[in-house]
Structure 1
Amino acid sequence: MARFLKMPGVSADSDAAVLEGWLVEAGASVTAGAAIASVETEKAVVDIEVDDDAVIHALLVESGDTVPVGDPIAVLLAPGEAASEGESLIAQLGGAPAAAPAAEPAPSIAQEEAKEAVEAAEPVAAPAQPAPTTPEPVAAPAAPTGGSGERRFASPLARRMAKEAGLDLAAIQGTGPGGRIVRADVESAASAPEAPAAAAPAAAPASAPVVSPAGGTATPHTKLRRIIASRLQQSKREAPHFYLRRDLRVDALLALRAQVNEGSAVRVSVNDLFVKAAARALVDVPEMNVIWTDDAVVSYATADISIAVASDRGLVTPTIRGIESLSLTSLSAQIKDAVGRANEGRLQQAELEGGTMSITNLGMFGVDEFSAIINPPQASILAIGAATRRAVVNDEGELEAGSVVTVTLSVDHRPVDGVVAARWLDRLAQLVASPMQILL
């Protein structure tokens, strides 16, 4: 039967997502499991797949549109189904009588709008396809009114954008059918020199504008920056951090890296070796391979470690799974791929979840040592500093020059005790001192 394809809830942190692009055209036939669109959240890009074989009857939103979760983005037909069935759904979006029974109830835009008929986001006409009818609200008691008391109609996307921009819909001139306010109207109003401000509720004080100190420039927070700030604040507030520091001599590790890179097409970094050593230490000290939940300490059999990446979009931590079973070159290739896609904003949401430990490295910037904040709900994060030449005492008690890295282990004291963390760090030191064990 004809049905709507709705914007899925691709991220727990978002009630809307950006349709990055369509991977199919209207009229295309697709099989179950095929990806038909890419959706961008604050932290990742996720492919939308179809559950069953289908024909793409119409695409209802444009690439780049921000769409609330649950709103329809396309109309799908069953193979061999008449196009009139899809047209009836499109007509339903516009409030017109359906030519045939709808395949499913009209989708609600949000819980508070359950009594309204569904309005589609601004549709776009596909090549050789009729343009979907622009939706008109039906019986919308909550629609904004102008000064004369007339009801103003607006698409769900326009309402959401106006709210986020702090604009009053009653002061925006609609250019859609019947004077309906659409996305372009909100964008035009937001870019105007004197955009109409939304009226504040009588019982609530008006929010203060962003104020910059004299000589400063204010940059509004992005959604990703707000998420990062919220999670790190939560971690420092709720997770009782304690810190263990240790100087590790890495001459043998650097020599192994040089040997591996001599005959390999994949260039292995010092950080790759530390990630591999940390994973081996998690396997050898399983009490560290845990996370904290409100009900239990959860242990894991595989070593899944998140790598902190300062991408162009902000700080993200893609997780590499099952590191204990990966070869060093395979691990290095996976880390490089994850870092590259992080910078392009192409990480999948699942890649940003899981893991019991994170690793962050500022050694390439000449930082000798630093402490990092745990990425919840993980139990620890290892901060790696720069390798520097220092005076060290060898096993024979003689003074000599050696390459040393200072690492700092931040640990959540709720699931992990100090003795366990010390055992793990000692095992890491053993592996770095005798790095051939990492490859076994």
Structure 2
Amino acid sequence: MSVNILMPALSPTMEEGTLARWLVKEGDRISSGDLIAEIETDKATMEFEAVDEGIVGKLLVSEGSEGVKVNSPIAIILDDGEQLEASETTNLTVQEEPKTNSTEEAIVQVEQISTNIAKTSSKRIFATPLAKRLAKEKGLNLESISGSGPHGRIVKNDILSFSVSSPNKVQENFTSTKAKPFVNHDSNSSIETLYADREFKEIPLNGMRKTVASRLTEAKQNVPHFYLRKEIIIDELLIVRSRMNEHLANTNSKLSINDFIIKACALALQAVPAANSVWAGDKILQLKPSDIAIAVAVEDGLFTPVIRDAEAKSLSKLSKEMKELAEKARSKKLMPNEYQGGSFSISNLGMFGIDNFDAVINPPHGAILAVGAGLKKPIVNEDNTIAVSNVMSLTLSVDHRVIDGALGAELMQNITKYLEDPVLMMA
């Protein structure tokens, strides 16, 4: 009996993706666990494993197709000796070209088919052997997990995504109110008319850019930001960093200013636990560990990989982990558990010579720290003498629903304390 392979949900918030590349061709024999395709989401390009075995009878979606809805059919698997009947593909619209305006109707048809498939359910729980083993190891109840595999089958990624999001339920609560799509109230045609006599290049929005537009529009419209600014003296930080890098000269590790900032923020959140919180719709969730998200610029967008338990890690370990995550972000190889979650973000534009800036909060985080460049400035000492010091500008953007002004100021004071006296980070 033929089986439809459906577009997988590679993260709890994924609604559509791009089928970047097929790793199999029609006529190939596949087994459970074989890699069959590369799926590109707004965050990463991930390999998709088969959960059934048989012969690839038909590839329904061509390479490069964008906007493929989760749970829509993308291929058909046949049993040995089984022939693909014409009737089996009559009701399945094949996407032969990447998604454009001319294929919108075809996408809708596939979406309707996937909706009908999703309605067919059974009380029996279907899960792959690997998913069952992982669920048992993590102590998870399969009945509480939604499957993204064919016919709702629970696969490995469902277990990994659920185990990341379930402890604090942030994802469950936050995705219940989905961000509205980014809409420009000026029609596309009217905007283009304004530039009819000018030379320009049209750049279509990819999945990442659409997500950035949607999430940041939601953040600025729905999150009540307020800002706390402070200039800090980093003379001692530069001295300590230089000494530590001398000791690390024979290793592959070299500490950056950003590594110290991550550690300082992690410790500050432990010192002010009420600020280590996220907005969860009808409640505030206060996290125990300091899970810090760091903005990483990539060619066509932005990633925010998360360093978990940052307060418990040494500067050297933070540095190594940050480099690995940044490299995976730039190559779009991040796994969902490497960019989901967190309670606090850091965005550093100091390396570009930016004095200071205001960063947009990354929902559901309670705050984000914007870091500017270290600059030499005259400073008035306590004895009224003037000296030249290295000064760095910090701006803390805070969600007023989660953190009030006094609490935000206390958090900023602690971040300043650790950065101006970095020896305290090693106490």
Structure 1 length normalisation: TM-score? 0.68
Provide, for residues 244-302 of structure 1, a one-character-per-residue CA deviation record: whole Å limited to 9, x for no partner. Answer: 11111111211222222221412221112101111111122111111112210011111
Note the 1:117-156 alignment, pairs <5 A. 117-122=91-96
| Residue ranges of structure 2 left out of the alignment (5+ in a row) | 107-186
2:346 pairs with 346, 359, 380, which one?
359
Give the aligned length.
339
Higher mean C-alpha deviation, range 252-261 or range 389-398: 389-398
Which amino acid letter does the alignment assign opposite residue 338 of structure 2? E
Note the 1:372-391 alignment, pairs <5 A. 372-391=359-378
2:142 corresponding residue in structure 1: none
- Residues 93, 119 of structure 1: 8 Å contact kept: no
Higher mean C-alpha deviation, range 59-68 or range 235-244: 59-68
Post-superposition offset of 1:338: 2.5
Q: Give the whole-Å Cα distance in 2 for the aligned partners of 1:28 and 1:303.
A: 46
Post-superposition offset of 1:410: 0.7
Post-superposition offset of 1:339: 2.4
Post-superposition offset of 1:212: 4.2
Which amino acid letter does the alignment assign opposite residue 4 of structure 2? F
Q: Give the whole-Å Cα distance in 2 for the aligned partners of 1:164 and 1:42.
A: 20
| Partner SS state of residue 335, structure 1 | helix
| Partner SS state of residue 193, structure 2 | coil
1:93 corresponding residue in structure 2: 88
Q: Give the whole-Å Cα distance in 1 for the aligned partners of 2:87 and 2:320.
A: 50
1:253 pairs with 206, 220, 237, which one?
237
Provide, for residues 159-181 of structure 1, a one-character-per-residue CA deviation record: whole Å limited to 9, x for no partner. Answer: 86514599xxxxxxxxxxxxxxx
Same amino acid, percent of matched pairs: 35
Asked if 1:83 corresponds to 2:70, the answer is no
Post-superposition offset of 1:395: 6.0
Flag the structure with larger Rg. Answer: 1
| Partner SS state of residue 332, structure 1 | helix
2:167 corresponding residue in structure 1: none
Higher mean C-alpha deviation, range 14-23 or range 301-310: 14-23
1:219 corresponding residue in structure 2: 202
Post-superposition offset of 1:229: 2.6
2:307 corresponding residue in structure 1: 320
2:285 pairs with 293, 298, 301, which one?
298
**1:275–1:84 CA distance, 2 compared to 1 (3 A):** same
Post-superposition offset of 1:323: 1.4
Q: Give the whole-Å Cα distance in 1 for the aligned partners of 2:307 and 2:200.
A: 38
Higher relative contact order (CA 8 A, sep 6+): 2
**1:47–1:439 CA distance, 2 compared to 1 (3 A):** farther
Note the 1:10-409 alignment, pairs <5 A. 10=10, 15-23=15-23, 27-32=28-33, 35-51=35-51, 54-55=53-54, 57-58=56-57, 60=59, 61-66=61-66, 67-76=68-77, 82-85=79-82, 87-88=83-84, 91-95=86-90, 117-122=91-96, 162-163=102-103, 208=190, 210-213=192-195, 215=198, 217=200, 219-220=202-203, 222-223=205-206, 224-262=208-246, 263=248, 264-394=251-381, 398-409=385-396
Q: Give the whole-Å Cα distance in 2 for the aligned partners of 1:257 and 1:50.
A: 48
Provide, for residues 297-316 of structure 1, a one-character-per-residue CA deviation record: whole Å limited to 9, x for no partner. Answer: 01111111221122111123
**1:381–1:209 CA distance, 2 compared to 1 (3 A):** closer
**1:51–1:164 CA distance, 2 compared to 1 (3 A):** closer
Post-superposition offset of 1:49: 2.9
**1:162–1:11 CA distance, 2 compared to 1 (3 A):** farther
Which amino acid letter does the alignment assign opposite residue 19 of structure 1? L
Q: Give the whole-Å Cα distance in 1 for the aligned partners of 2:303 and 2:234.
A: 27
Q: Give the whole-Å Cα distance in 2 for the aligned partners of 1:430 and 1:225.
A: 37
- Residues 54, 80 of structure 2: 8 Å contact kept: no
CA root-mean-square deviation: 3.1
Higher mean C-alpha deviation, range 324-333 or range 423-432: 324-333
Q: Give the whole-Å Cα distance in 1 for the aligned partners of 2:286 and 2:241.
A: 32
Which amino acid letter does the alignment assign opposite residue 63 of structure 1? E
Structure 2 length normalisation: TM-score? 0.70
Which amino acid letter does the alignment assign opposite residue 83 of structure 1? D
2:416 corresponding residue in structure 1: 429
Post-superposition offset of 1:11: 5.6
Q: Give the whole-Å Cα distance in 2 for the aligned partners of 1:31 and 1:322.
A: 35
Provide, for residues 370-418 of structure 1, a one-character-per-residue CA deviation record: whole Å limited to 9, x for no partner. Answer: 1111112211110111111122245666432211111010101111011
| Partner SS state of residue 400, structure 1 | strand
Q: Give the whole-Å Cα distance in 2 for the aligned partners of 1:404 and 1:165.
A: 57
Post-superposition offset of 1:75: 4.0
Higher mean C-alpha deviation, range 205-214 or range 231-240: 205-214
Higher mean C-alpha deviation, range 409-418 or range 216-225: 216-225
Q: Give the whole-Å Cα distance in 2 for the aligned partners of 1:233 and 1:24.
A: 39
- Residues 313, 345 of structure 1: 8 Å contact kept: no
Post-superposition offset of 1:427: 0.8
**1:27–1:271 CA distance, 2 compared to 1 (3 A):** same
Q: Give the whole-Å Cα distance in 1 for the aligned partners of 2:421 and 2:213.
A: 39
Post-superposition offset of 1:438: 2.1
Post-superposition offset of 1:209: 6.5
